[in-house]
Each structure stands twice: as structure tokens, then as C-alpha cells.
């Protein structure tokens, strides 16, 4: 087992800290917006919301600041986005880690904002109205979650009736609805921003997460470096407390334990993700991790 695999096993679970922090930040920002809305000064937020004319004047910070604003004073817009972060953003952070989660969240928002602006410029009947909301980033998290777990069943309540649908079909519905909203602006929702976020999530999972393209791109950007041979970790043939006895799956003591048990599990994680492991495979992986920490 290479040293990198050992580090991977230690990082398989990532507590969803930043998704929770983001929800708190969005709510605090909404409260500040509402105060300005009632007591004056709300027009100052026009420099923070996203518009095509604003980007044309060089207000590039709008691609970031619009993601923290929501329609005020009614709370439904921010609450739905916080629910999306809770149900989809937290699991994505657990799987990918906090750094990837934050990077992909804001990247989805920025790309979504650019798609919305390009839609406003290129297509008729799209007025250049200020765009606010975290929906683009949330849609990116929904796309990543549904792409990683396409067969997961999702249940939503519609007029007090539960409706259950698999994640892959939910993603198809959301993507097609966003595309239709881009072509036919039937409401005042920024469907272009939603579509941009969805595309970022799908591209990441299909082109980078399930392949080595991201690592290859990173190595190319860093330039050639002297490579060191991987450090191999080997266990003794028999554990001292189990001398003469074959090791059990939860006690990694045999010399062929890594080859027969752990390596196939790591290959399965690389191909299908950690969520595809069985309970027995998780116990074997945890036993190997604990064994290496003791050495």
C-alpha cells in the first residue's frame, strides 16, 4: 500500500463544517439586507448584485458578492437555498472534503453568474435585472450529489404528498427546467445561473472526480518535478497476539492482507466512490487504518 493510500483512508470522512458556516453567513447577510430594506439604503446593494451592465463597467466583484444576497424581505429565497445546502451541500463536503467543497461551490456560482450574464446579452427578451442568490452554487452541489449517487432515492413533499424520485431523474428534471427557462423566460428566476451551476457539477464528476484528469492538470501546472518512489508499508506475517492463527478480516496481521483485502477496496473507492463500500469492507479499511497508526 502506498503512503498516499494511507492518507486517503484517514481523510475518507470530512465533517461538513463549511456548509453549516455558509448557511449561517447567508442568513446573517439576509438579516442585514432586510434591515437596510426597511430603514433605507437598500439601493447601495445594487453594486453588489450581478448585472451585465455592472460587469461591463468593471464591477467584477459582483460575480462573488451576488452569491451572498437574496430577495428581501421575504425569507423564502434564502431558506430554500439553505435547505439545499443542508441536504446536498453537507453530503458533498463529507465526500469531497472542505477545500474541494468550497472551491466547487463558489466556482459553480461564478460560472452560473457568467452564464446568466451571457444569456442576458445573447438572447432577446432577457432584461438586465439584478441577480442575487446562492442558487447557482447550490445547484452545483445538487449536480455533484446526484452524479455521485444517481440511484439514491429522494423524497420531496408537494402539497402535503410525498413524491419519491431517484437522484439521476431529479437532476435531469432540474437541468431541463433550467434550460427551458433560459430559452423561454417564463418567470423572474435566473435559470441561466442554475444551468451554469449544474454544468460545473456534472463536468467535475464526469471528467475529473472519476478520472485522474484533475491530478494530471495539477501536475502540468506545477511543472516537472523530481518524483520519488512510493513508500511501501508492509505488515508482519503474523500479528504477535495471533501467532500461528490466520488473521481475521478485522485484524490485519497476514502478509497478504494488503494485496487481498485492502488494495481491492481502494480500487473500488477510486472507481465508484466510498459510498459503494459494504459494511464488511468499511470495517476492513478501518482496521487497516488503525493498524498503520499504531506503527
Residue 12, helix vs strand vs coil: coil
272 and 193: one domain?
no
72 part of a folded domain: yes
Answer yes or no: are the C-beta atoms of 171 and 197 closer than 8 Å.
no
Length of the chain, in residues? 295
Give the residue with greater pLDDT, 216 vs 95.
95
* Percent residues over pLDDT 90 in the chain: 54
67 and 179: one domain?
yes
Average pLDDT over all residues of the chain:
82
133 band by pLDDT with thresholds 50, 70 and 90: very high
CA distance 273 to 270: 6
284 and 149: one domain?
no
Alpha helices in the chain (DSSP H): 3-10, 17-39, 52-56, 62-65, 76-84, 90-96, 98-122, 135-148, 167-183, 191-203, 213-222, 257, 263-272, 279-294
153 and 282: one domain?
no
Residue 158, helix vs strand vs coil: strand
Rounded to an integer, the average pLDDT of 203-215 is 79
pLDDT at 256: 60
124 band by pLDDT with thresholds 50, 70 and 90: confident
With a cut of 50, say whether residue 244 has pLDDT above it: no
With a cut of 50, say whether residue 280 has pLDDT above it: yes
With a cut of 70, say whether residue 24 has pLDDT above it: yes
Burial environment of residue 230 by CB neighbours within 10 A (0 to 12, 13 to 18, 19 or more): exposed
33 part of a folded domain: yes
pLDDT at 7: 44
pLDDT tens, 161-198? 888 999 999 999 999 999 999 999 888 899 999 999 99
- Angstrom distances, CA of residue 150 to CA of 74, 168, 205: 34, 4, 12
pLDDT at 229: 56
Cis peptide before 73 (omega within 30 of 0): yes
284 and 160: one domain?
no
- Angstrom distances, CA of residue 279 to CA of 112, 200, 240, 252, 264: 38, 32, 27, 16, 15
Rounded to an integer, the average pLDDT of 19-32 is 96
Rounded to an integer, the average pLDDT of 69-84 is 94
Q: What domain range includes position 257? A: 240-294
- Phi and psi at 212, nearest 5°, equal -100, 15
235 part of a folded domain: no
User: Of 185, 219, 253, which residue is a domain's last?
Assistant: 219
167 and 283: one domain?
no
16 band by pLDDT with thresholds 50, 70 and 90: confident
203 and 108: one domain?
yes
32 and 89: one domain?
yes
119 and 156: one domain?
yes
Contacts of 188 (CB under 8 A, 6+ apart): 129
Give the residues across from 2 on adjacent strands: 232
How many domains would you assign to the chain?
2
pLDDT at 235: 47
pLDDT at 143: 98
157 and 89: one domain?
yes
Unique residue bearing C-alpha cell 435559470? 191
288 band by pLDDT with thresholds 50, 70 and 90: confident
74 and 206: one domain?
yes
Residue 246, helix vs strand vs coil: coil
pLDDT tens, 38-72? 887 667 788 999 999 999 999 999 999 999 999 98
With a cut of 50, say whether residue 9 has pLDDT above it: no
124 and 248: one domain?
no
Rounded to an integer, the average pLDDT of 127-147 is 96
230 part of a folded domain: no
- Which grid coordinates belong to 277? 463500500
166 part of a folded domain: yes
User: Of 175, 190, 219, which residue is a domain's last?
Assistant: 219
Amino acid at each position: 500500500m502506498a503512503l498516499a493510500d494511507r492518507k486517503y483512508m484517514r481523510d475518507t470522512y470530512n465533517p461538513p463544517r463549511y456548509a453549516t458556516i455558509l448557511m449561517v453567513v447567508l442568513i446573517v447577510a439576509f438579516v442585514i439586507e432586510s434591515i437596510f430594506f426597511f430603514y433605507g439604503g437598500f439601493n447601495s446593494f445594487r453594486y453588489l448584485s450581478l448585472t451585465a451592465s455592472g460587469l461591463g463597467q468593471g464591477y467584477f466583484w459582483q460575480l462573488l458578492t451576488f452569491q451572498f444576497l437574496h430577495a428581501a424581505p421575504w425569507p423564502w429565497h434564502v431558506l430554500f437555498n439553505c435547505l439545499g445546502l443542508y441536504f446536498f451541500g453537507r453530503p458533498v463536503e463529507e465526500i469531497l472534503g472542505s477545500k474541494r467543497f468550497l472551491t466547487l461551490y463558489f466556482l459553480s456560482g461564478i460560472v452560473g453568474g457568467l452564464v446568466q450574464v451571457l444569456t442576458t446579452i445573447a438572447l432577446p427578451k432577457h432584461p438586465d435585472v439584478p441577480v442575487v442568490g446562492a442558487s447557482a452554487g447550490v445547484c452545483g452541489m445538487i449536480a455533484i450529489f446526484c452524479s455521485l449517487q444517481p440511484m439514491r432515492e429522494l423524497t420531496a413533499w408537494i402539497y402535503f404528498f410525498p413524491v419519491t424520485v431517484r437522484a439521476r431523474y431529479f437532476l435531469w428534471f432540474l437541468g431541463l427546467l433550467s434550460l427551458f427557462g433560459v430559452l423561454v423566460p417564463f418567470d423572474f428566476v435566473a435559470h441561466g445561473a442554475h444551468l451554469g451551476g449544474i454544468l460545473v457539477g456534472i463536468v467535475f464528476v464526469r471528467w475529473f472526480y472519476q478520472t485522474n484528469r484533475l491530478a494530471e492538470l495539477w501536475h502540468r501546472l506545477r511543472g516537472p518535478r523530481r518524483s520519488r518512489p512510493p513508500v511501501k508499508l508492509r505488515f508482519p506475517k503474523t500479528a504477535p497476539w495471533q501467532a500461528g492463527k490466520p488473521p481475521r478480516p478485522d485484524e490485519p496481521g497476514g502478509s497478504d492482507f494488503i494485496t487481498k483485502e485492502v488494495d481491492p477496496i481502494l480500487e473500488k473507492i477510486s472507481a465508484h466512490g466510498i459510498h459503494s463500500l459494504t459494511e464488511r469492507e468499511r470495517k476492513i479499511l478501518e482496521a487497516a487504518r488503525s493498524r498503520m497508526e499504531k506503527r
